[in-house]
Each structure stands twice: as C-alpha cells, then as structure tokens.
Amino acid sequence: MQLILDQPRCEGHGLCEEAAPRLMHLDDDGDLVLDVEQVDDRDLDLARAAVRVCPVAALRLE
C-alpha cells in the first residue's frame, strides 16, 4: 500500500509520528517527512494508526 501525505493540509501536530516513528518524522521546521511511501505488511498496522490519529486527515493509504 502507498502512504500519501497532503502536505498543505498537515499542521505538524506529530501524533502520526508518535504512532509510526519508523515511517515518518517531523523535521526541524515542524514539517512532516515520510520516510517510506510504500508500506509493507510489517508496517501496515503502524501506517493505519498514523492515518487514524491525524486530526486534520492529512494522511491516507491507497
């Protein structure tokens, strides 16, 4: 599955980073950076958790 970030929508709350630190991080400017775009089965639950906790729906899985 592909993890997609709507960067303009992201407000940098960091909840997704807490849910899936292996998959993404906030940079020094507070912008979210995806460390992976293609999510394998091992990380799928983490990616789903990150999508679920985003308060502005800036992440999605396709």
Mean pLDDT over 1-22 rounds to 97
Q: Which pTM value belongs to this model?
A: 0.92
Domains contained in the chain, number:
1
Whichever domain contains 38, its CATH number is: 3.30.70.20
Mean pLDDT of the chain: 97
C-alpha span between 45 and 47 (Å, rounded):
5
The boundaries of the domain holding residue 32 are: 3-61
C-alpha separations of 44 from 12, 26, 36, 53, 54 in Å: 22, 20, 12, 14, 16
